[in-house]
Amino acid sequence: MMQRILPAAIAAALLLSGCGSLLTPKYERPDAPVPQTWPTQGAYEGAAREAQTAAIDTGWRNFILDERLRKLVEVALANNRDLRISALNIEKARAAYGISRADMFPSVSAAGSATHAKGARDVVGDSANRISHNYAATLGFSSYELDFFGKIQNQVSASREAWLQLVETRDAAQISLISQVVSSYLTLAADQERLKIAKDTRDSLQDTLRLTLKRHEVRVDSQLDVSSAQASLEAARADIATYTTTVAQDENALALLLGAPLPEDLKPPQGLFDNAPILQEAPTGLSSEILLRRPDLRADEHALKAANADIGAARAAFFPSITLTANVGTASTELGRLFNAGNGTWTFAPQINLPIFTAGRLQSTLDQTKISRDIQVATYEKDIQTAFSEVANALAQRGTVEEALQAQQAQADAYQKSYQLAQLRYKNGIDSYLSMLVYQRSLYSAQLSLVSTKLTQQTNLITLYKVLGGGVRE
């Protein structure tokens, strides 16, 4: 009989602990407090792009067309410390889930002991049995709680949701990292272009200054013309110093994201924006439900599920808890007879604990978990609204950036022609240097603005890809 007690007790414990809890609130995903479709009027006209594959299902290797940039993303994903920390936090949370899950099962252990004692002569006399020996071997479990009301099960569920939340958080961190690497690469390319424009402008102004000095010597140009030419040249030199510093800072920022020095052969080439396409167009579709697949919003939902499970665990604390301690074994005064028939032992000790008076602690704990769940609901809804706003802003920019780029290019071309004509008129003595200087400054400003618009166009592509959840798949 005693051989069947422990297995039967373990089986009953496992059966009871597997029962689901009726005390846990049924989880229901909150309704998204945003429109079902993206805006389509005004600035958004023509911004939507239809495709068979959504942005979130488009691998970043397919989205990034520039080979150098693709290699930089590979380096960042392999070396970035923030992403590595996120991955380690996932492993830590998974281990914590394993620890909590172990509480659902009894911990069975085996023990063996031997006791040898010598009695005092005044107690046992001169008997030959002054020295005693006791041997025992047991198998059992202790303080195992039967999860009648789902407290442990809900605690395990909350731990699992916390683990899955970190998995989604890590994916969100990857999306952010890819976006940062691409944006930093584009910014570096833009600042390199600005530096080149400043150097070209300096070279042109140096030639103009030499010509102005010669014209001043023959009294064609005034000292005012010479001073203006000198001032323009110094302004260009100051811009060169500024952009040189900015380029170095851009490289440092990109190296930090990479977690390694920026390879020389992976720096953006000159004229990047005028070469082959850098990024693809991110498809948007029509429904905003795609946002619910974003890793950061999925992480919010896991946090909400964990808060839901905490309510079930808090409710279960109001009910009795039953713990079991049981073991079977054998004992003997002689090691050779330890496993002989008739030396078997067993114990079975159930214990029940019923909370009667806790000074409101249990109710306050339950209230706290309910409030935490309501906070998570509000956080989830707010993050959905933020995500919708991010996509809408990116779509508004997509709908207008092409027109702005065309206008900026046309303006730069027009100022280029005006400046060339002004140079000819100045060299031929028709206009003064100050007249030419106006067109030179306008051209310089237009060229810098054109670079900024090209950067905006490319940055909009990666921004839209990011806010639509792209970047998890390779």
pLDDT of residue 266: 92
CA angle 108, 114, 119 (to 5 degrees): 140
pLDDT of residue 172: 92
CA–CA distance, 161 with 27 (Å, rounded to integer): 13
**Is residue 308 a contact partner of residue 374, using CB atoms and an 8 Å limit?**
no
Radius of gyration of the chain (CA): 38
The token pair that represents 162 in the structure block: 């916390």
Pick out the chain residues at pLDDT < 70. Answer: 1-21, 51-52, 123-129, 216, 220-221, 286
CA–CA distance, 450 with 51 (Å, rounded to integer): 30
CA–CA distance, 451 with 197 (Å, rounded to integer): 10
**How many other CB atoms are there within 10 angstroms of residue 16's CB atom?**
13
- Tens digits of per-residue pLDDT, 391-448? 999 999 988 999 999 999 999 999 999 988 988 887 887 877 777 888 889 999 999 9
Which one, of 297, 298, 299, lies nearest residue 165 by Cα?
Answer: 299
Quote the crossing angle between the two packed helices 433-467 and 223-258, to the nearest 10°: 20
**Is residue 375 a contact partner of residue 300, using CB atoms and an 8 Å limit?**
no
Q: Which residues pair with 460 in a beta bridge?
A: none
Residues 6+ apart with CB under 8 A from 20: 150, 153
Domains, the chain, with CATH or none: 19-104+147-318+364-467 (1.20.1600.10), 106-146+321-354 (2.20.200.10)
**Is residue 113 a contact partner of residue 133, using CB atoms and an 8 Å limit?**
no
Burial of 11 (0-12, 13-18, 19+ CB in 10 A): exposed
**Is residue 461 a contact partner of residue 471, using CB atoms and an 8 Å limit?**
no
pLDDT of residue 320: 87
CA–CA distance, 374 with 241 (Å, rounded to integer): 54
Specify the amino acid at residue 314: A
Give me the residue label for tokens 């499970």.
309
- Tens digits of per-residue pLDDT, 347-376? 888 888 888 888 888 899 888 989 999 999
Handedness of CA 78, 81, 83, 87 (dihedral sign): positive
pLDDT of residue 126: 66
pLDDT of residue 124: 67
pLDDT of residue 8: 52
